[in-house]
Structure 1
Amino acid sequence: MKDQSGTNQELMQELSFLRQKLAQVEQSESRRKQTEEALQDSEARYRHLFEFINDAVLVHFIGEDGQPSRFVEVNNIACQRLGYTRKELLQLTPIDIAAPDKNSELPEIRKKLQSHGHTLLETVHLTKDGRRVPVESNIRLFNYNGQLAAMSISRDITIRKQMEEDLQRAHKLESLGVLAGGIAHDFNNLMMAVQGYMDLALLGLAPNNKVHKYLGSAQQCMAQAKELTGRLITFSMGGFPFRKSCDIAELVRDAVHRTIKGEDVKATFDFTDDLWPTEIDEQQMKQVFYNLTTNALEAMPQGGALTVRAGNVEIQGGDALPLKEGPYLRIIFVDEGIGIPEEHLAKVFDPYFTTKGMGAQKGMGLGLSVCYSVLKKHQGHITVDSRPGKETTLTLYLPAQVEQATAIDPQKSLSTGAVRVLIMDDEIHIREIERAYLEMLSYEVEDVKDGQEAIDAYKKALHSGTPFDLVILDLTVRHGLGGQLAMERLLKIDPEVIAIIASGYVDDPVIEHYGDYGFRGALKKPFNGEEMKNLVENILQRKNT
Structure 2
Amino acid sequence: MGTKVEASDQESLDFLVNGGETAALILAHDWSATPLGLPETWPQSLRSSLSICLTSSFPTAIYWGPELHLLYNDAWAPIPAGRHPWALGRPGAEVWTDIWDVVYPQLARVLETGEGFSTYDQMLPMVRGGVRRETYWNYSFTPIRGEDGSIAGVFNQGHETTDRVLGERRNRFLLDLSDKLRSLADPRKVIEVAQEALGRHLGANRVGYGEVEETARYFTTDRNWTDGSVPSREGTHDLAGFGPDVLAALRAGIPLLISDAARDPRTSAPESLAAFDAIDTRAAITASLVKEGRMRVALYVHAREPRPWDEHDVELVTEVAERTWAAVERARSEAALREREARLRQLNDTLEHRIEAALAERNLLATIVETTDVQIQVLDREYRWLAINKACADEYQRIFGKRPEIGKNLLELLADRPDQQAAAKAVWSRALAGEAFTQVSEFGDPELDSRSYEMRFEVLRGPDGSQAGAFLMGRDVTERVAEQQRLAEAQAARREADALYRAYFENAPEALFVVGVRSDGGFVVEEVNPAHEAGVGFKIEDIRGKRIEHILPPSVARRVLETYRHVVETGTIYQYREVFDLAGGPQHWDTSLVPVRDAEGHIIRLMGSSRNVTRQVTAEEALRQSQKMESMGQLTGGVAHDFNNLLTPIVGALDMLQSRGVGGEREQRLIAGAAQSAERAKTLVQRLLAFARRQPLQMTAVDVGKVVRGMADLVASTTGPQVRVMVEAAEDLPPAKADPNQLEMALLNLAVNARDAMPRGGTLRITASAETVQAGVGGTLQAGRYVRLSVADTGTGMDEGTLARAVEPFFSTKGIGKGTGLGLSMVHGLASQLGGALSIKSKPGLGTNVELWLPESADRPEAPGPARAVHLAHARKSALLVDDEELVRLSTADMLADLGYDVLEATTAEEGLALVQKGAELDLLVTDHLMPGMTGSDLARTVQTLRPGVPILVISGYAESEGIEPDLPRLTKPFRKDELAASIASLMNGRSS
TM class, shorter-length = 0.7 to 0.9
Mapped contact 1:56–1:153 kept (Cα < 8 A):
yes
Structure showing greater radius of gyration is: 2
> Per-residue deviation at 1:292?
3.0
> Per-residue deviation at 1:31?
7.0
Partner of 1:203: 659
**Aligned partner of 2:611: which letter?**
S
Q: Distance in 2 between matches of 1:104 and 1:418?
A: 81
- State the secondary structure of the residue aligned to 1:5: coil
Give the percent of matched residue pairs that are identical in Structure 1 and Structure 2. 21
- Deviation digits for residues 323-374 of structure 1 (CA, Å, limit 9, x no counterpart): 332223333332222222234433333344444432x3243x4443343333
Q: Distance in 1 between matches of 2:733 and 2:554?
A: 41
Q: Distance in 2 between matches of 1:496 and 1:87?
A: 88
Mapped contact 1:135–1:156 kept (Cα < 8 A):
yes
Cα distance change, pair 345–539 in 1 and its aligned pair in 2 (3 A): same
1:132 aligns with 2:559: no
Partner of 1:388: 844
Q: Distance in 1 between matches of 2:992 and 2:425?
A: 128
Q: Distance in 2 between matches of 1:368 and 1:139?
A: 45
1:524-535 aligned at under 5 Å gives the runs: 524-535=972-983
Provide TM-score, normalisation by structure 2.
0.45
1:113-192 aligned at under 5 Å gives the runs: 115=570, 118-129=573-584, 131-140=585-594, 148-158=605-615, 160-171=617-628, 173-174=630-631, 177-178=634-635, 181=638, 183-192=639-648
Partner of 1:514: 964
Q: Distance in 1 between matches of 2:949 and 2:721?
A: 54
Give 2:928's match in structure 1, choosing from 463, 474, 477: 474
Mapped contact 1:504–1:525 kept (Cα < 8 A):
yes
1:107 aligns with 2:562: yes
Cα distance change, pair 69–272 in 1 and its aligned pair in 2 (3 A): farther
- Deviation digits for residues 271-323 of structure 1 (CA, Å, limit 9, x no counterpart): 34443433234454445434433332332222212223333333333326123
Cα distance change, pair 381–185 in 1 and its aligned pair in 2 (3 A): closer
Cα distance change, pair 429–70 in 1 and its aligned pair in 2 (3 A): same
- State the secondary structure of the residue aligned to 1:515: coil
**Aligned partner of 1:2: which letter?**
D
> Per-residue deviation at 1:502?
0.4
Provide TM-score, normalisation by structure 1.
0.75
- Deviation digits for residues 34-77 of structure 1 (CA, Å, limit 9, x no counterpart): 77995796478437624xx3x66666555556665568535368
Q: Compare 379-388 and 281-290 and name the one that shifted more.
A: 281-290
Q: Compare 444-453 and 193-202 and name the one that shifted more.
A: 444-453
Cα distance change, pair 398–230 in 1 and its aligned pair in 2 (3 A): same
Partner of 2:991: 543
Mapped contact 2:511–2:530 kept (Cα < 8 A):
yes
> Per-residue deviation at 1:218?
3.5
Give 1:413's match in structure 2, choosing from 858, 868, 877: 868
- Deviation digits for residues 88-107 of structure 1 (CA, Å, limit 9, x no counterpart): 89899599779969965863
Mapped contact 1:113–1:119 kept (Cα < 8 A):
no
- State the secondary structure of the residue aligned to 2:380: coil
Q: Distance in 2 between matches of 1:299 and 1:37?
A: 67
- State the secondary structure of the residue aligned to 1:4: coil
Q: Distance in 1 between matches of 2:592 and 2:777?
A: 26
Cα distance change, pair 307–73 in 1 and its aligned pair in 2 (3 A): farther
Counting matched residue pairs gives 523
Partner of 2:761: 303
Give 2:971's match in structure 1, choosing from 520, 523, 529: 523
Cα distance change, pair 105–272 in 1 and its aligned pair in 2 (3 A): farther
Cα distance change, pair 4–445 in 1 and its aligned pair in 2 (3 A): same
Partner of 2:684: 228
- State the secondary structure of the residue aligned to 2:965: helix
1:292 aligns with 2:750: yes
> Per-residue deviation at 1:476?
4.7
Partner of 1:422: 879
- State the secondary structure of the residue aligned to 2:795: coil
- Deviation digits for residues 472-516 of structure 1 (CA, Å, limit 9, x no counterpart): 2123568x9762443243133135543221022223xxx455226
Cα distance change, pair 282–177 in 1 and its aligned pair in 2 (3 A): farther
Cα distance change, pair 104–92 in 1 and its aligned pair in 2 (3 A): closer
Give 1:248's match in structure 2, choosing from 680, 691, 704: 704
> Per-residue deviation at 1:217?
3.9
Partner of 1:500: 953
**Aligned partner of 2:782: which letter?**
K
Partner of 2:944: 491
**Aligned partner of 1:361: which letter?**
K
Give 1:346's match in structure 2, choosing from 782, 801, 804: 804
Q: Distance in 1 between matches of 2:732 and 2:594?
A: 55
> Per-residue deviation at 1:248?
3.0
CA RMSD of aligned residues (A): 4.8
1:261-280 aligned at under 5 Å gives the runs: 261-262=719-720, 264-280=722-738
Cα distance change, pair 213–312 in 1 and its aligned pair in 2 (3 A): same
Partner of 1:449: 906
1:404 aligns with 2:859: yes
Q: Which has the higher contact order (CA 8 A, sep 6+)?
A: 1
Q: Distance in 2 between matches of 1:405 and 1:220?
A: 37
- State the secondary structure of the residue aligned to 1:148: strand
Cα distance change, pair 354–67 in 1 and its aligned pair in 2 (3 A): farther
1:47-62 aligned at under 5 Å gives the runs: 49-50=507-508, 53=509, 61=516
Q: Compare 118-127 and 255-264 and name the one that shifted more.
A: 255-264
Mapped contact 1:173–1:235 kept (Cα < 8 A):
no
- Deviation digits for residues 248-269 of structure 1 (CA, Å, limit 9, x no counterpart): 3444563871783336222223
**Aligned partner of 1:522: which letter?**
R
Q: Distance in 2 between matches of 1:397 and 1:71?
A: 52
Mapped contact 1:113–1:140 kept (Cα < 8 A):
no
Cα distance change, pair 94–248 in 1 and its aligned pair in 2 (3 A): farther
> Per-residue deviation at 1:205?
5.0
Mapped contact 2:587–2:612 kept (Cα < 8 A):
no
Cα distance change, pair 275–444 in 1 and its aligned pair in 2 (3 A): same
- Deviation digits for residues 104-148 of structure 1 (CA, Å, limit 9, x no counterpart): 58635752576465444333231443x2234444555669xx972
Give 2:786's match in structure 1, choosing from 328, 332, 336: 328
Cα distance change, pair 322–69 in 1 and its aligned pair in 2 (3 A): farther
Q: Compare 10-19 and 262-271 and name the one that shifted more.
A: 10-19
> Per-residue deviation at 1:5?
1.8
Any gaps of 5 or more consecutive residues in structure 1? none
